[in-house]
């Protein structure tokens, strides 16, 4: 491939990897140990001059481009005016404007409020705080294959032991896990899967003790699992009936990734609270909790916040990112990516597993429930200069999260590498 000048990783990356070993905790891993010098839309250029095709967007973050011109411009303008005041000390307009945009874009036309934080995990923790405070109940219900972060509470909410939880207990109490909908494996309709989940909650947790149900509308780290149609609406209806707060964790699925602003939109589900992060600010750390005004305003003054939450530079970046999504119609772009890539991947896989997902959140689950094939395919892509990620509770899922602005020729080139890697990977 002409995009590659050296083997992957190249000599300069290998030098930096050796240096890193003496400075960075070995507990922090990297999927692909190439050190990046700069990026262009859809390309990561490493310190050896290799041009890698980016089908991961830094885990669904740089959907608007890397760097996105409007994000970079907004960041430069803001950093020259002020970098920080702490919104809890003296406020600024950018924070308010991001909250207005979130209130407007998230599902439902009801009265909403938002609060801003630094990371997805922090947003999820705060959504739980709001739900508990507003309901006076304690239990939190989550699902098999769910992922919600790495802090103590969110580790408890996350399903997978290795690498997220192993050796890090004890975990936060009052967290209950029930089965979700996994059409490939459970063969249930959405309604049947919802009835199964509801029965488990009613019998084992008790609706009157349940503060909230926290769910990813399409599960991310757990394997890009799209629930059967009807599952989310039935669950939402039960929550409404029983006064349980429905928290949609849209941290990976939000901001045009699935071809609509939020994945809840596909089935007309209106959650009580929505958590956002990842794609929100074109790469700057920002997260939000948005939802029903009566819930969000129920907490006492000073009950939510943090030193950096809603940092002005991150807020400026978010406004630049959201403007980019609107102007470039990135929802349509995500749907075009699916139309192009999904049939090709399906043909390459040839029934030895499943290709699924929505928009530019696509996955290949291999039939073998071990990481072997997915790992082999990912390694072949990496060696050919295409950045792909894996996921899944069994590690047998290859996931694609290309930048929504990826040029057609780069996407075609990246998918061609993947097709070849899949064909060879499943044949071995
Ligand atoms: C990534 C992710 C989180 C955690 O976000 P961080 O910013 O890494 O803390 C939570 N929920 C979902 C669905 C995610 O994909």
At 171-219, the pLDDT tens digits run 999 999 999 999 999 999 999 999 999 999 999 999 999 999 999 999 9
330 CA from centroid of ligand 1 (Å)? 21
Q: Which protein residue has the closest C-alpha to ligand 1 atom 11?
A: 148
pLDDT in tens, 267-291: 999 999 999 999 999 999 999 999 9
Q: Are the C-beta atoms of residues 156 and 175 closer than 8 Å to each other?
A: yes
The helix (H) or strand (E) run that includes residue 212 is: strand 210-215
d(C-alpha 67, C-alpha 50), whole Å: 18
d(C-alpha 275, C-alpha 353), whole Å: 31
pLDDT in tens, 136-166: 999 999 999 999 999 999 999 999 999 999 9
Domains in the chain (CATH in brackets) are 11-64+329-427 (3.90.1150.10), 69-327 (3.40.640.10)
Q: Which of 278, 285, 287, 309 to mutate to test the pocket of ligand 1 (most atoms within 8 A of CB)?
A: 278
Let me know if 308 is exposed, middle or buried by CB neighbors in 10 A (0-12, 13-18, 19+).
Answer: middle
Please identify which residue in the block is written with the tokens 């000390």.
89
Please identify which residue in the block is written with the tokens 């002005």.
312
Indicate the pairing of strand 361-366 with strand 51-54. Answer: unpaired
Q: Which of 125, 147, 224, 284 to mutate to test the pocket of ligand 1 (most atoms within 8 A of CB)?
A: 147
Q: Which of 116, 121, 122 to mutate to test the pocket of ligand 1 (most atoms within 8 A of CB)?
A: 121
Question: What SS3 class is residue 367?
Answer: coil
Residue range 45-61: mean pLDDT, rounded: 98
- Determine the pLDDT at residue 231: 98
Residue 395's CB is within 10 A of a number of other CB atoms, namely 17
Close Cβ partners of 212 (under 8 Å, ≥ 6 residues apart)? 127, 128, 131, 132, 135, 140, 141, 244, 245, 246, 247, 272, 273
Residue 428 has pLDDT above 80, yes or no: no
57 CA from centroid of ligand 1 (Å)? 14
Sheet holding 353-358, edge to edge: 353-358, 361-366, 397-400, 389-391
Rounded alpha-carbon distances, angstroms, from residue 87 to 75, 79, 100, 117: 17, 16, 16, 11
Q: Tell me the pLDDT band of 55, cut-offs 50, 70 and 90.
A: very high
Q: What are phi and psi of 382, to 5 degrees?
A: -60, -45
The helix (H) or strand (E) run that includes residue 73 is: helix 69-81
Partners of 362 in the beta sheet?
357, 400
122 CA from centroid of ligand 1 (Å)? 9
Residue range 340-351: mean pLDDT, rounded: 97
Instruction: List the one residue out of 372, 352, 362 whose CA is nearest residue 406.
Output: 362
- Determine the pLDDT at residue 101: 98
287 CA from centroid of ligand 1 (Å)? 10
pLDDT in tens, 316-339: 999 999 999 999 999 999 999 999
334 CA from centroid of ligand 1 (Å)? 20
d(C-alpha 19, C-alpha 318), whole Å: 34
d(C-alpha 377, C-alpha 341), whole Å: 16
Q: Which of 63, 117, 220 to mutate to test the pocket of ligand 1 (most atoms within 8 A of CB)?
A: 220
d(C-alpha 333, C-alpha 320), whole Å: 18
d(C-alpha 145, C-alpha 166), whole Å: 16
Q: Which two tokens stand for residue 104?
A: 């407007």
- Determine the pLDDT at residue 127: 99
pLDDT in tens, 295-305: 999 999 999 99
d(C-alpha 143, C-alpha 161), whole Å: 14
137 CA from centroid of ligand 1 (Å)? 24
Q: Per the confidence metrics, is the pTM higher than 0.95? A: yes
Q: Which protein residue has the closest C-alpha to ligand 1 atom 5?
A: 120
Q: Which protein residue has the closest C-alpha to ligand 1 atom 15?
A: 252
Pocket of ligand 1 (CB under 6 A): 119-121, 124, 147-149, 216, 220, 249, 251-252, 277-278
CA distance between the termini of the chain = 23
Please identify, by atom number, the ligand 1 atom nearest to the C-alpha of residue 121.
Answer: 9
Sheet holding 287-292, edge to edge: 112-117, 287-292, 273-276, 245-249, 210-215, 139-143, 175-178
2 CA from centroid of ligand 1 (Å)? 35
Q: Tell me the pLDDT band of 2, cut-offs 50, 70 and 90.
A: low
118 CA from centroid of ligand 1 (Å)? 11
Q: Tell me the pLDDT band of 427, cut-offs 50, 70 and 90.
A: confident
Q: Which protein residue has the closest C-alpha to ligand 1 atom 10?
A: 148
48 CA from centroid of ligand 1 (Å)? 31
Task: Mark residue 167 as left, alpha or beta (left: phi above 0; alpha: psi -120 to 50; beta: remaining).
Answer: left
Q: Which of 120, 163, 264 to mutate to test the pocket of ligand 1 (most atoms within 8 A of CB)?
A: 120
- Residue 13 CA from chain centroid, whole number: 28
155 CA from centroid of ligand 1 (Å)? 11
252 CA from centroid of ligand 1 (Å)? 7
Please identify, by atom number, the ligand 1 atom nearest to the C-alpha of residue 146.
Answer: 13
Q: Are the C-beta atoms of residues 187 and 194 closer than 8 Å to each other?
A: no
Residue 1 has pLDDT above 90, yes or no: no
Question: What SS3 class is residue 93?
Answer: helix
Instruction: List the one residue out of 232, 251, 422, 227 whose CA is nearest residue 342.
Output: 422
Please identify which residue in the block is written with the tokens 């070993």.
21
């Amino acid at each position: 491939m002409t995009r590659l000048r050296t083997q992957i990783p190249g000599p300069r990356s290998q030098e930096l990897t050796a240096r890193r070993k003496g400075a960075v905790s070995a507990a922090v891993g990297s999927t692909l140990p190439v050190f990046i010098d700069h990026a262009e839309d859809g390309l990561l250029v490493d310190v050896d001059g290799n041009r890698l095709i980016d089908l991961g967007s830094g885990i669904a973050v740089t959907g608007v481009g890397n760097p996105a011109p409007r994000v970079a411009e907004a960041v430069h303008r803001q950093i020259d005016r002020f970098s920080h005041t702490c919104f809890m000390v003296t406020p600024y307009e950018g924070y308010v404007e991001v909250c207005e945009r979130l209130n407007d874009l998230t599902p439902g036309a009801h009265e909403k409020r938002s609060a801003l934080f630094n990371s997805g995990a922090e947003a999820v923790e705060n959504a739980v705080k709001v739900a508990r405070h507003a309901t006076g109940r304690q239990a939190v219900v989550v699902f098999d294959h769910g992922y919600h972060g790495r802090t103590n509470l969110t580790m408890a909410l996350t399903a997978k032991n290795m690498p997220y939880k192993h050796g890090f207990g004890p975990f936060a109490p009052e967290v209950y896990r029930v089965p979700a909908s996994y059409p490939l494996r459970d063969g249930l309709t959405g309604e049947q899967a919802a009835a199964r989940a509801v029965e488990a909650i009613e019998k084992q947790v008790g609706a009157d003790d349940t503060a909230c149900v926290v769910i990813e509308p399409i599960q991310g780290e757990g394997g890009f699992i799209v629930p059967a149609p009807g599952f989310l609406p039935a669950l939402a209806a039960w929550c409404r009936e029983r006064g349980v707060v429905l928290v949609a964790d849209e941290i990976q699925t939000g901001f045009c990734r699935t071809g609509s602003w939020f994945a809840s939109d596909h089935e007309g589900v209106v959650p009580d609270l929505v958590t956002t992060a990842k794609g929100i600010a074109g790469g700057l750390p920002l997260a939000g909790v948005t939802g029903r005004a009566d819930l969000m305003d129920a907490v006492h003054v000073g009950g939510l916040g943090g030193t950096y939450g809603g940092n002005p530079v991150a807020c400026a970046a978010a406004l630049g990112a959201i403007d980019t999504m609107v102007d470039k119609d990135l929802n349509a772009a995500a749907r075009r990516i699916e139309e192009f890539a999904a049939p090709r991947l399906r043909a390459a896989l040839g029934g030895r597993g499943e290709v699924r997902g929505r928009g530019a959140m696509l996955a290949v689950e291999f039939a073998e429930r071990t990481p072997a094939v997915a790992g082999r395919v990912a390694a072949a892509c990496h060696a050919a200069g295409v950045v792909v990620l894996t996921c899944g509770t069994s590690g047998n899922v290859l996931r694609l999260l290309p930048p929504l602005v990826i040029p057609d020729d780069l996407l075609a080139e990246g998918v061609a590498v993947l097709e070849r890697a899949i064909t060879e990977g499943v044949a071995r």
